[in-house]
Amino acid sequence: MNLTKRQKEKNIRIYAYQRLFETEDGKIVLKDLMKCCHFDLPSFDSDPYQTAFNEGERHLLLRIIQTINADPERLLELMKDNQEER
């Protein structure tokens, strides 16, 4: 299999994200991001600029989750933990 330089770089980046978010610190950070980046809460605000900002935060979190190929069961567990802390 002959991967292009671009694909190799992408794979390296994906593996780095995965390794990072598998650590205990990474799990703590992911849980915090889920809490503050509108993962399970509406991002709407009466101010359209604030809504756009909130959606930007949420988009970044969703990109991280997609990149690490997060286990849906683990995400549900983190969501439950976050809801219990509120």
pTM reported for the whole predicted model: 0.87
- pLDDT computed for residue 70 by the predictor: 92
Residue whose tokens read 């190799």: 8
- pLDDT computed for residue 1 by the predictor: 64
In angstroms, the Cα distances linking 65 to 25, 27, 47, 60, 86 are: 16, 12, 27, 9, 22
Chain centroid to Cα 65, Å, comes to: 4
Q: Where are the domains of the chain?
A: 5-81
Averaged pLDDT, groups of 10, the chain, 86 residues long: 89 97 96 94 95 97 96 90 84
Chain centroid to Cα 31, Å, comes to: 9
Type of residue found at 15: Y
